[in-house]
Structure 1
Amino acid sequence: MSRAVITWMGAFLLLAISANLYAQNTINSVRVWPSPDSTRVVFDLTDKPDFSYFMLKNPLRLVVDLENTDKIKDLPTIPSKHQIVSKLRYSKAKTSKGVRFVFELTGPVKPVIFALAPTGPYKNRLVVDLYDKNQAESVVATSNTAVKKRELNQQRDIVIAIDAGHGGEDPGSIGPSGTYEKTITLQIAKRLERMIDAERGMISRMVRSGDYFVKLNTRTSRARQKKADFLVSIHADAFTSPQPNGASVWVLSLRRANSEIGKWIEDKEKHSELLGGAAGVIKDTASEKYLAQALLDMSMDHSMKTGFSVAEGMVQELKKVAKLHKKEPQAASLAVLKSPDIPSILVETGFISNPREERLLKSANHQERLAKAIFTSIKSYYLKNPPDDSLFASLKSQYPTKHKVRPGESLSLLANRYGVSVSKLKQVNQLKSNTLFIGQELDIPQS
């Protein structure tokens, strides 16, 4: 091979490498996800971004530079709801081949900016998370310290935290016709919210009220901030094939799930964090420390027992309105259930990967019936087991509990179970003998 040919090939190779190094990246879209305590702006890119940023004061601005990147024709307007960024605009770039974005801010923020590799439905992304400083400090303080015991406030409402699964960057599972799980879960959650708020003695608190991403550990932190007595996380199941169907209720297991569906749900939870840009699933130091403490003082044991009791009742309610995938509560190691001080369950309302159930889950009537089943089971549990300082406890002390006699039950057995005397049972129910009949309904007075 002649020297001229070798020189020509070397020059061509060098030119190709140089062209590759300085190829312009392309911004395909810019998306904005506002939430009550933060705003996320996502740049969808063709290639991995080369970026830098800095803050400016008077007025407050965040400046982000992207090297070797072309401008996109139109930038999105910023929604007025939960506004942290008032405007996103261009400014003069620091190099001729780059682009500079300016975020005009409404107040002090903590910026968290990072690149994400392609995953799920997304290609390369640059994520700009802007956290309201006051809100962020409040969340951290709550996560790192044990929550003080609620002051005894007679006749308070029982607080139910409702967690609509997924959201924002994380669509959750996607049905055959393109339905997003995040959309279905929020619709059912809002129906449940309405039912709880209409019930005297109960009040709801939404973990997310719109289409935005919330980290898994932050979901339980938000429930704790709102002093929740109980957390219900709503999801729509999926699998690799369209055949599986039916609703199920999940409780916490401190070990890896032993069922195929359980392992799938655990893996999906981890994937959701990656989609949202938080790779450290269940590795938040404060949460791990808090969990370890709770396991020692047995508060987790109480939460798990309460969660399982509600889950048992919920399975019974769900089977009245939907096909069940499993007839008993299932267990898996899920981050959203790991709050040691808040009893929690996760409800899979059906398989969105099943075409028939996807159509059902989109139906307003079916969503209403699912929400009603969830509401009824939670209400039933707290009517029987109300917190001492709640309105439900006050009502329970005024009115007796109802019990329907089953085979093998006697007055003495029921008296022992409910902690009352046989004579009191006979007096309240105006019984002249100790004989009971199957199906007979008795009033159980308070002990």
Structure 2
Amino acid sequence: MPRPPHIPLPLTATPLKRRTILKAGGTLLLSVLSPLPAQAAQILAVRVWPADDYTRVTLENDTNLKATHFIVPDPQRLVVDIEGLELNPTLKSLVAKIESEDPYIKQVRVGQNRPNVVRLVFDLKEEVRPQVFTLAPVGSYKHRLIFDLYPVAPSDPIAQMIEKGEWMRDDLAPGGRPELPAPAVADPLARLPAMAVVTPETVAPTKAAAPGPAPAKPSVVRMVTIALDPGHGGEDPGAIGAAGTREKDIVLSIAKRLKFKLEELPNVRVMLTRDGDYFVPLGTRVAKARKVQADLFVSIHADAFMKPSARGSSVFVLSERGASSSAARWLATKENLADAIGGVNMGGHDLQLASVLLDLSTTAQINDSLKLGKAVLTEIGGFARLHKASVEQAGFAVLKAPDIPSILIETAFISNPEEEAKLRDNGYQDQIAAAVTKGIKSYFAKNPPMAKSRIT
């Protein structure tokens, strides 16, 4: 009778059969324990952000990448070798993403330099100071490998404004710092009283005046410089509405409208911390404003909240003693993540600069900021719904310039579908810009800019 197939072999099997079984089992065990061949990393997206300040190239990937780089002169080239990578169509698409208007990159070449190593060669338009670094996953981003190409001579906000005709060389002191123009007789019909400058000569004397009509003291006229800060940009889109509206686009549009309206006022000039779609670290935004000795700093944003029902405009200033509400604290925490999302080189100078600025805030600056915030909030409340009827306070990093009254305006909740639609509307953007302009005029009418030196 044949043996059933499920019964194991008898122990009396021949030595040859036993050796065959043991050999097969050992081979199976080794195949389980042996490591599988390493799989090459996958490039998920490539992005290029050209700007006058610097050009950023981002490779988003599914794992942390190791890269080495070096500069080759005559002609200038940046060579980057990336390990653990094989060419794929996404990486090849980088070639087509370089624009002819890019200030620093002429073109890029991509190739498989050797097995598991991809080489990028950036043909440059001028000598650059590259920063190559990685970013850990944050928000919706996976791992990122960043190439920041800075000019050897860092871009100067005053030089940029001179080039655009927004600043006169006569405004510069011999040391390169802005100085007040010579005193001039003010014409109340030709300019706003708000643009007068408080000086010792304009303060009324304490002793009795001599008999007879005294000649009027001339006010001192100088340019008032306002720094407008459109939030987010580049790698950092900010909040995104249900219809796909990106905060970074809306606030840049509003800032440009506001710049136009403010510059229609006599003796006012405006600097934008960014004028295109690129990322500016929080500390650099503050540093730019201080470089031009701005009289005001206005940061423009569009809220988002977990619930789409949240709505209304808000104005915030800095707080040294904690947030004025839990919502203000939550919002400040979210906005302060901009550097992590936008991508700051942890070994760079920007963080050192920011850490100094964050420790220099003054009570006087906060008090002036509260006055400015109240004036602006009052004007916005004239046509828009307010989230809070008073100016709120929280620890926003971008408001920590020690010597510049600074406010942050949340124009509306982009996470609210109705308000998202308003933010996309040109008429509403104009209303916001007009209200902020009127608020700034009102502030200066009661608080003329001082003729004093800034902290340097």
Q: Specify if TM > 0.5.
A: yes
Separation (CA, whole Å) in 2 of partners of 1:50 and 1:128: 13
TM-superposed deviation, 1:227: 2.1
Verify the 8 A CA contact 1:77 1:87 in the aligned structure 2.
Answer: no
Could you tell me which runs of 5 or more consecutive residues in structure 2 were left unpaired when the two chains were aligned. Answer: 1-20, 159-174, 184-220
Aligned match of 2:277: 211
Separation (CA, whole Å) in 1 of partners of 2:371 and 2:156: 35
Q: Does 1:86 align with 2:102?
A: no
Separation (CA, whole Å) in 1 of partners of 2:121 and 2:299: 37
Q: Does 1:126 align with 2:192?
A: no
Shift in alpha-carbon separation, 1:209–1:302, aligned structure 2, 3 A: same
| Secondary structure of 2:153's aligned partner | helix
TM-superposed deviation, 1:2: 4.6
Aligned match of 1:395: none
Shift in alpha-carbon separation, 1:149–1:162, aligned structure 2, 3 A: same
Which residue, out of 267, 272, 276, partners 2:342?
Answer: 276
Q: Does 1:7 align with 2:17?
A: no
TM-superposed deviation, 1:121: 2.3
Most deviating of 282-291 and 181-190 = 282-291
Aligned match of 1:223: 289
Q: Does 1:326 align with 2:388?
A: yes
Separation (CA, whole Å) in 2 of partners of 1:273 and 1:5: 55
Shift in alpha-carbon separation, 1:84–1:356, aligned structure 2, 3 A: same
Which residue, out of 86, 99, 113, partners 1:70?
Answer: 86
Aligned match of 1:174: 240
TM-superposed deviation, 1:177: 1.3
Verify the 8 A CA contact 2:358 2:397 in the aligned structure 1.
Answer: no
Aligned match of 1:106: 125
| Secondary structure of 2:116's aligned partner | coil
**Aligned letter for 2:407?**
I
Equivalences for 1:8-47 in 2 at 5 Å?
8-14=28-34, 17-19=35-37, 21=38, 23-47=39-63
- C-alpha RMSD over aligned residues: 2.5
Separation (CA, whole Å) in 2 of partners of 1:12 and 1:198: 75
Separation (CA, whole Å) in 2 of partners of 1:138 and 1:362: 29
Most deviating of 240-249 and 69-78 = 69-78
TM-superposed deviation, 1:126: 0.9
Shift in alpha-carbon separation, 1:61–1:368, aligned structure 2, 3 A: same
How much identity, in percent, do the aligned residues show? 39
Q: Does 1:184 align with 2:246?
A: no
Aligned match of 1:285: 352
CA deviation digits over 1:8-55, x for unaligned, max 9?
2322431xx232x2x122223321101221100011223322322122
TM-score by length of 2: 0.76
Q: Does 1:373 align with 2:435?
A: yes
Aligned length: 373
| Secondary structure of 2:154's aligned partner | helix
Shift in alpha-carbon separation, 1:270–1:388, aligned structure 2, 3 A: closer
Equivalences for 1:229-308 in 2 at 5 Å?
229-278=295-344, 284-292=351-359, 294=360, 300-308=362-370
Most deviating of 337-346 and 152-161 = 152-161
TM-superposed deviation, 1:138: 9.1
Most deviating of 372-381 and 62-71 = 62-71
Separation (CA, whole Å) in 1 of partners of 2:58 and 2:323: 34
Bigger fraction of residues in helix: 1
Separation (CA, whole Å) in 2 of partners of 1:324 and 1:199: 27
CA deviation digits over 1:62-111, x for unaligned, max 9?
11112232223322342344511111112561x22321001112222221
Could you tell me which runs of 5 or more consecutive residues in structure 1 were left unpaired when the two chains were aligned. Answer: 140-146, 391-447
Aligned match of 1:429: none
Most deviating of 77-86 and 250-259 = 77-86
Shift in alpha-carbon separation, 1:123–1:290, aligned structure 2, 3 A: closer
